[in-house]
Amino acid sequence: LLPSVCVCNQKLLKPCYYNYPQPNVAVKGQAVQSSTLYPAAANRAIDGRRDTYYTESSCSHTQEETAPWWRVDLGQIFVVSTIKVTNRGDCCPERLDGAQIHIGNSLQNNGNNNPRCATITHIPLGDTFSFTCESGKMTGRYVNLVLPGDKKILTLCEVEVYAKPPGERRKYERKYTHQSSSWEPDGTPAGAYKAVKNCNRYKFTQYCCSRTEEEWDPWWRVDLGAVYRISAVVIYNRKDCCSDYITGAKIKIGKSLSHKDNPVCATVHSADLDQAFYCSEMEGQYVSLNIPQKINLTICGVEVFGSQVGMSFQHI
């Protein structure tokens, strides 16, 4: 069992999202609202901009009505950790007082009957407030904001939804990880599987890291077992010594067993202990690291996040 490589959707091994910098999935969603004060359409609230002046064309705005609402369809079910809401900055911040945030999978009553995440008491002029939903464990495809009462106007200058897809646990054996060589002095195990062992101690001497011999272009690779769209890769570095050895490593994703044939997601430029690299939904079955120089490659943890091509997200 190698419980430290995981992907969102088919979570290949362990539930390791906690240290992952979750993306704002709202920007890829589709928004609608109960009415529109032209041209302030619902999608303005998910344009990725926190511009708070209405005249900057980045805020949604309904007509004055009873219980106006706004909704974003995330396209699939997510586990939502945080909602960030940005209020208007040029006037009337009190209009948002009392708005309710709902998350769920039902479109009954336009989605406003889904479980409530939070109620906005007040967001000052032009500020952005964060709301955590059930300790970051609420699930749903739809995120609604509804403002109860008569003669209400709902204006939103940005809504951000930080979330991860749910996943399924899957077992993997040592044969799914490989490296160019293994440096194992005095019988100390440093095989490729150590990088997905979920040891979290960052110390080679505690048998928690993989390591190659000193050689030209050392490499490490994991086979995900199928083609995935990879959104991010997290690398855990050694901290008991030699942390700078990881600098210059190239993270590659592709369908070839040879890292030389696969495109680069990112290059490691620092010796930080934990580093996350975004891969823009690159497709591949193999994730590898290599350093194009004569050195040893030591890795104390690798986590992979993505969704399997051709499969819908599952929640277990």
Instruction: Delimit the domains of the chain by residue range.
Output: 25-164, 174-308
The residue with greater pLDDT, 219 or 271, is: 219
As a whole number of angstroms, the distance between CA 271 and CA 252 comes to 18
Of 72, 92, 78, 63, the C-alpha closest to 145 is 72
pLDDT at 250: 96
Structure confidence by residue, pLDDT tens digits, 84-105 = 999 999 999 999 999 999 999 9
CB 299 within 8 A of CB 190: no
Q: What is the average pLDDT across 278-303?
A: 90
> Residue 143 CB: number of other CB atoms within 10 A?
31
Give me the DSSP letters along 56-85: GT--EEPPSBSS-EEEEEEEEEEEEEEEEE
pLDDT beyond 70 at 205: no
Strands 100-104 and 177-179: unpaired
pLDDT, position 204: 67
Q: What band does 264 get if pLDDT is binned at 50, 70 and 90?
A: very high
Q: In this structure, are residues 211 and 247 in contact, taking their beta carbons and an 8 Å threshold?
A: no
H-helix or E-strand spanning residue 232: strand 219-236
d(CA 114, CA 104) in angstroms, rounded, equals: 5
Looking at residue 122, its pLDDT comes to 97
Placement of tokens 């979330």 in the chain: 163
The pLDDT confidence band at residue 252, using thresholds 50, 70 and 90, is very high
Q: Which CATH superfamily is domain 25-164 in?
A: Galactose-binding domain-like (2.60.120.260)
Neighbouring residues of 261: CB distance < 8 A, sequence distance ≥ 6: 254
The secondary structure of 14-27 as a DSSP string is: ----TTS---BGGG
Which residue, 82, 20, 68, is CA-closest to 276?
Answer: 20
User: Is pLDDT larger for residue 5 or for residue 123?
Assistant: 123
Question: Is the pLDDT at 138 greater than 80, yes or no?
Answer: yes
What pLDDT shows up at residue 202? 60
* C-alpha closest to that of 62 among 86, 78, 39: 39
For residue 77, which of 280, 316, 314 has the smallest C-alpha distance? 314
Task: Specify the pLDDT at position 1.
Answer: 25
CA dihedral 268, 274, 280, 285 (to 10 degrees): 90
Q: Name the burial class of residue 135, with classes exposed (0-12), middle (13-18) and buried (19+) by CB atoms within 10 angstroms of its CB.
A: exposed
Average the pLDDT over 35-57 and give the result.
95
Amino acid of residue 136: G
CA–CA dist 180, 247 (Å, integer): 18
Mean pLDDT of 69-76: 94
The residues with which 195 forms a beta bridge, in sequence order, are: none
Give exposure, 263-285, as e/b (b: 16+ Cβ within 10 Å).
Answer: eebbebeeeeeebeeebeebebb
161, 238, 247 from 96: Cα distances, Å: 18, 48, 47
| Domains 25-164 and 174-308 are alike in CATH topology | yes
At residue 156, does pLDDT exceed 90? Answer: yes
Structure-token pair, residue 268: 């490691």
Between residues 200 and 124, the one the model is more confident about: 124
Length of the chain, in residues: 316
Q: Residue 174's closest CA among 194, 202, 188, 189?
A: 194
pLDDT of residue 306: 78
Question: Spelled out in words, what is the top-level CATH class assigned to the domain 174-308?
Answer: mainly beta
Query: In this predicted structure, what is the pLDDT of residue 199?
Result: 64
Say whether pLDDT at 219 is over 60: yes
Cα 262 from Cα 251, distance rounded (Å): 10
